[in-house]
Amino acid sequence: MSNAFVYNFDQVQNEMRAMAKELLESGEATMVIGWEKGALPYQSTPVMIRSAEDVDKLIWDAYCQQNLSTYLIDYIYTDEKVAIFAKGCDTRAYNRLIQDNRIKAEKCIVIGVPCPGMKNAREAARLPENAEVPMANACKECRYPNPVVFDKRVGTDVTAWCTERDFSDVEAIEAMPADDKYAFWQSQYTKCIRCYACRNICPACNCTSCIFDQSASGWCSKDINASENQFYGVTRAFHVAGRCIECGQCEMVCPSEVPIMLMNKKFIKDIDSLFGAHEAGLDTNTPAPLSHFSVSDPEEFM
Amino acid sequence: MSDNSVKTANDVAENFEPKILVFACNWCTYAGADLAGTSRLQYPPNVRILRVPCSCRVNPQFVIRAFQRGIDGVLVAGCHPGDCHYTTGNYYTRRRFLLINRMMEYMGIDPKRFHTRWISGAEGPKFQQVVTEMIEEVRAIGPNRKLRDDMKVTVNTDDIVASVEADTKVVADNV
């Protein structure tokens, strides 16, 4: 993980600004989506830039964790040609959205940015100023810090600092007695306020109409209690099973700090062991595990 | 029958009758259940059979919803792989339910409460055997108290308020 601190953010930032300027001036892109500095040192927020004069707003620092690919969905029916800056996880999200037919490649320009791993903004908010901020949880297990698909790119490739997923947290829960497991998830899901931020940010959760917006269907109520929250939690995790790219955005945005990735990683672990290793979003040809089947799948229901 | 409330621990021990919901595929399991009936194979009356066009129609959310509404055990049953009326439906069922079975266990739901089985139209005795065994297992472990929406485990708003206040303070300190 040490390469995070020799990485030269300023140099990449300059390249990003030059690239954005070139794209906007030449008219190749009508808009560039990147990050700008937020109100606090540990906040970097998305910014949409339409004029070459504004490119100095763009920044690149250790808090640009937010995935920008999901914004492309908003421009699918417009005449815009949108350029986005994309880290490794953002490019995997981009592939997912292409595969789900939610965006069109010809309307997007992906500018790949190798990423040294982002810092944990939530911890940064709690730690005293100038303290060493740990890496964001999802970034610790990142195996694809370099863009997997891009039209243009800035910066130079970094070496991945992680080679295998760490399932020890999932295994710890699996080893608990059933009642303890249930108590653990109850304690987590009683914190949930059903703001749906995890759904909104997720590049795998991209349905045009969501089951949780249709309370008249009788599926789920708007009640906020442990039962309904758990229904929401399991359903959300199941809907992204096999399509989760492990960007950790869901946990990042959760105001109640529900360990959402623990659910996603459980599905990833089971899919890998039951149906063979699968990495969502590495390309657009491999079908998602739950959208196809094999006649030789494990048989437990005889 | 709709009364889910349990009065005392004694009532549970003496009078507990499990409610089992069976999602039966129209083409195989429903015919299998029918065969069990016409063959006069007796099984306990604790099952509610819900006919679905294909086991693939059973959304995992149906299962969670059933537990929320007070069902003690759920059986999803359909044609054997290779025999699906729609050719491939039950292959998808198999993938989904292999995963959701494990997730339910991960959430702390007893795996005895939730089964998936392939029961063909000719397997009346198998239907009888599967539901009888399941009812006895669920009867032994008692009523389901997990995921129930009438348990009204409410959200602890004090914690949320405290956490929001703490965050607000951090922001205020930094500005």
* Domains along chain B with CATH numbers: 11-174 (3.40.50)
Residue B105 phi/psi, 5-degree rounding, is -65, -40
Is A66:A113 a contact under the CB 8 Å cutoff? Answer: no
pLDDT in tens, A28-81: 999 999 999 999 889 999 999 999 999 999 999 999 999 999 999 999 899 999
Report d(CA A281, CA A291) in Å as an integer.
Answer: 14
Number of H helices, E strands in chain A: 10, 6
Structure tokens at A41: 């040192």
Name the residue in chain A with its Cα closest to that of B77.
A301
Residues of A in contact with B144 (CB under 8 A): none
Name the residue in chain B with its Cα closest to that of A264.
B103
Side chain identity at B147, as an amino acid letter?
A: L
Predicted complex ipTM: 0.88
Name the residue in chain B with its Cα closest to that of A172.
B106
- What residues contact A60, with CB distance under 8 A and at least 6 apart? A9, A12, A13, A16, A34, A35, A85, A113
Tens of pLDDT along chain A (302 residues) come to 444 457 889 999 999 999 999 999 999 999 999 999 999 889 999 999 999 999 999 999 999 999 999 999 999 899 999 999 999 999 999 999 999 999 999 999 999 999 999 999 999 988 988 889 999 999 999 999 999 999 999 999 999 999 888 899 999 999 999 999 999 999 999 899 999 999 999 999 988 888 888 877 777 777 788 888 999 999 999 999 999 999 999 999 999 999 999 999 999 999 999 999 999 999 999 999 999 999 999 999 98
Q: Do B116 and A235 touch (CB under 8 A)?
A: no
Q: Do B171 and A40 touch (CB under 8 A)?
A: yes
Q: Does B172 touch chain A (CB under 8 A)?
A: no
With left for phi above 0 and alpha for psi between -120 and 50, is residue A66 left, alpha or beta?
Answer: beta
Looking at B4-117, list the stretches that DSSP marks H as alpha helix, in order from N- to C-terminal side. Answer: 9-15, 29-38, 60-68, 89-106
Domain boundaries, chain A: 10-153, 168-291
Report d(CA B89, CA B57) in Å as an integer.
Answer: 8
Note the residue count of chain A: 302
Q: Is B141 helix (H, G, I), strand (E, B) or coil?
A: helix
Residue B14 phi/psi, 5-degree rounding, is -85, -40
Task: For residue B42, give Cα distances in angstroms to A171, A249, B45.
Answer: 42, 53, 9
Q: Does B17 touch chain A (CB under 8 A)?
A: no
Mean pLDDT of chain A: 91
